[in-house]
Amino acid sequence: MRLAIALSLLRPALPLILGLSLGCSLSLLRVSWIQGDGKDPCVNKREDAEFYVGKERDAGPVPDIDDFKPRIVPYYRDPNKPYKKVLRTRYIQTELGFRERLFVAILTSKNTLNTLAVAVNRTLAHHFHHLLFFSGLRGGKIPHGMQVVSHGDERPVWLMYETVRYIHDHFASQYDWFYVTQDDTYTQAERIKSLVKHLSINQDLYLGRAEEFIGGDEHAKYCHGGYGYLLSRSLLLKLQKYLDSCRNDILSVRPDEWLGRCIVDFLGMSCVTEHQGLQYYSFELGKNVDPVKEDRADFLKAFSVHPVTDVTMMYRLHKRFSEIELERTYEEIKQLQLQIKNLTFLTPKGAAGALWPIGINPPFVPKSRFEVINWEYFTEDHLFSCFDGSPKCELSGANKADVNDILETALEQLNQLYQPSLRFYKKQLLNGYRRFDPTRGMEYTLDLLLDTVTQKGHNHVLVKRVNLLRPLSKVEIIPMPYVTEATRVQIVLPLSVRDLDYVGNFLDVFAMNTLDTHDNALLTLLFIYDPYDAQRVNQLDVFAGVKFMVGELEKRYSDVKIPWISVKTEVPSQIKLMDIVSKKHPMDTLFFLAGVWTEINMEFLNRCRMNAISNWQVFFPVHFQEFNPVLVYRGEQSSSTTDFLRDGHFDHHISVEACFYNSDYMAARTKMAADILDHDEVLESVDVFDVFLRYSELHLFRAVEPALVQKYALRDCNPRLSEEVYHRCVLSNLEGLASRSHLAMALFEQEQANST
């Protein structure tokens, strides 16, 4: 009875018990089979066998897999040395130790420096990141826009020795490849760059047009200097320690042969014309060769052409090779468009899904009415969307050139499409529309009144609508001079009586974000007195409170000094104030011209250092302006974090903040002084932005700066400023009140209050 009861209770669990028993039994049997003889014929141990690539054993062993595993390098600080703050670079490329791809060296002489070398510079400089000329000339005049290193000795072999040593000492750590050529050689820059892109950097390579040594070994060759040659970085590093021996032991008349003999004797390498399927093509230019008529294969594929005896031939070669590359580019575009068109039939939409133009991004699709891109209406004489807000203005300058260009292009494309059946002549532009699509480029729609002529000579007037697109070209990184974060920033803050309510907050933020973090920045205050306050400064100083706060900061930070300058003027012109500050600082000072509403932080100061480049670029950031809290929150408590889409906007009307070097300001100011002569009243109507815009050839860089935030304040617009500056100030005040939704809500609440 008890057994029957136990079996009835265990019956639901019997399948589970049987499954566990069977699984354990099979696992024990499997272990006994594997460990039976202690050997596995399918597994090779590392100590018993080596791994090889390919079928042949001579291919060599595969590197240890540990070589490809990331390692954590522990931080070590020498206790015997004082602690120094680690300076982190803002460039990822510098942080990771990346190098530029190609450095180009041109060998020239005093006889050709102002002729052939100038032509080479004009045809190559805009293609390469760094182009440097090497000459034995000493004390001569260097052509404008060229970087020339003078060694002071015209001997060819000595010039080559000094050049190679200079390249190693100054650029070996910055570049992977080095291209050396002469100023009597035309170089097709894009082909050299494309060749280098396909070469591995971790190899010793001496690539060029191989020539045999005079009376030497037939198997060893050197690269002819007239056709240019490539040296890898690893080869240059190995060659450096043998340069002095080569200079003393090797005798040669030709510098390229001397360098080739040095590489062959001490490194055991010879010049090659082909490497891993990549060929270095060159062409020897004859006396009576016409580049326009030349169509031989070795000329069309050439990377370099030598010898070029005069400047005219250099430019003719450049024109011819530019046409060849342009034709190849157009042909590649046609082939790509044909492939895209053929693939479109395989898509769900079929031929209807093809976009125009083929291969260009589709038009931007707005998600709301606030994202709709407006069309600008224009005619041949007027533009109906003006910068100053007026409904109509004359078409001039860049806008005029743009309209003329698209009209010519439209007529040219129509004639190319309908010839020889029809011939079109423009009579009038009836309507023109354009808009800038950030995903595509500038779009145009034109209504043209055309005079049409048939093959038989019949005339007919018709109206035709055409669509055009000026697409965005390939985005390129503009080579910029290197900037370090260690640069000290001199902050200049002008203060008037109207700014006294905001200066306390400015100093608190400055102390917290700059002094507490030990940032390399200094502050100078400009106290602007009007004539009345200046006369009674001994009895009542309107800036006494500010001076007291500055004294408290200096007590709190004993190593900090905040100087101030007192200025008496009726009109606080930005130019006059900067003239006073500029004379009291060195020429290499980096100024940040701030406003009392500016909240300074380390992030922005670093971008100020990065974007202001001496003798190259000035930086005018577009700050983020907070809206009027009375209109935005209407009695509600403001949020701790600013919502950019709700609480403010980027104010592009005002250019109060600016980052620039003192030397750049003085250069522009000198040109301005020569232009205005004794008209000092002009200084009261312009600002620093206008000075750089009108009297400087530097890059004016304007960009939105989210790290530069200003609290809301109603600006005091000076009516004595120029009409344009005053108008921008008024627009800034109006647009800085609140967003359209907030203004609409405020009007609605006001109407509701009035109705009740």
- For residue range 359-388, what is the model confidence (pLDDT) as tens digits? 888 888 888 888 899 999 999 999 998 876
Q: Which helix (H) or strand (E) holds 665?
A: helix 662-676
State pLDDT tens for residues 646-683: 578 888 888 888 999 999 999 998 888 877 765 666 66
Say yes or no to pLDDT of 355 above 90.
Answer: no
Q: Which tens digit of pLDDT belongs to each residue from 531-546?
A: 888 888 788 888 888 9
Instruction: For residue range 420-440, list pLDDT tens digits in order.
Output: 888 999 999 999 999 999 888
Are 241 and 263 a contacting pair, CB within 8 Å?
no
Residue 33's pLDDT is: 44
495 forms beta bridges with: 527
pLDDT one-digit tens code per residue, 167-216: 999 999 889 999 999 999 999 999 999 999 999 888 899 999 999 887 66
With a pLDDT cut of 70, the percent of the chain lying above it is 83
Looking at 75-84, 178-187, 462-471, 705-714, which range is the least confident one?
Answer: 75-84
CA distance 263 to 243: 9
pLDDT for position 680: 61
Burial of 364 (0-12, 13-18, 19+ CB in 10 A): middle
**What are the b/e assignments for 548-583, b being 16+ CB within 10 Å?**
ebbeebeeeeeebebeeeebebeebbbbebbeebbe
Query: Which of these ranges, 317-321, 561-565, 599-603, 726-730, has the smallest mean pLDDT?
Result: 726-730
Highest mean pLDDT among 50-59, 88-97, 567-576, 713-722: 567-576
Q: What is the pLDDT of residue 143?
A: 85
Burial class of residue 476 (count of CB atoms within 10 Å of its CB; 0-12, 13-18, 19+): exposed
Its pTM stands at: 0.60
Position 313 pLDDT exceeds 90: yes
pLDDT tier at 70, thresholds 50, 70, 90: low
The pLDDT value recorded for residue 72 is 62
Domain 489-743 maps to which CATH number in 3.40.50.300, 3.30.360.30, 3.40.640.10, 3.90.550.10? 3.90.550.10
Amino acid 397: pLDDT: 87
Task: Say how far apart CA 611 and CA 604 lie, in whole Å.
Answer: 10
Mean pLDDT (whole number) for 573-577:
83
User: Of 19-23, 75-79, 748-752, which range is least confident?
Assistant: 75-79
> Residue 185: which of 123, 258, 131, 139 has the closest Cα?
123
Q: Residues of CATH 3.10.450 domain(s) within the chain?
A: 376-471
Q: Token pair of 526, please?
A: 């400009």
Residue 382: enclosing H or E segment and its boundaries? strand 382-383
Q: What residues does CATH 3.90.550.10 cover in the chain?
A: 489-743
What is the C-alpha to C-alpha distance for residues 522 and 487, in angstroms, rounded to an integer?
A: 11
Q: How far apart are CA 151 and CA 533, in angstroms?
A: 63
CA dihedral 451, 412, 291, 118 (to 10 degrees): 110
Q: Residue 641 pLDDT > 90, yes or no?
A: no
Domain 376-471 CATH assignment equals 3.10.450: yes
Residue 497 — very low, low, confident or very high, per pLDDT cuts 50/70/90? confident
- Mean pLDDT computed over every residue of the chain: 82
CATH 3.90.550.50 placement within the chain: 93-319
CATH number of 93-319: 3.90.550.50
The yes-or-no verdict on residue 324 having pLDDT over 60 is yes
pLDDT attached to residue 194 = 92
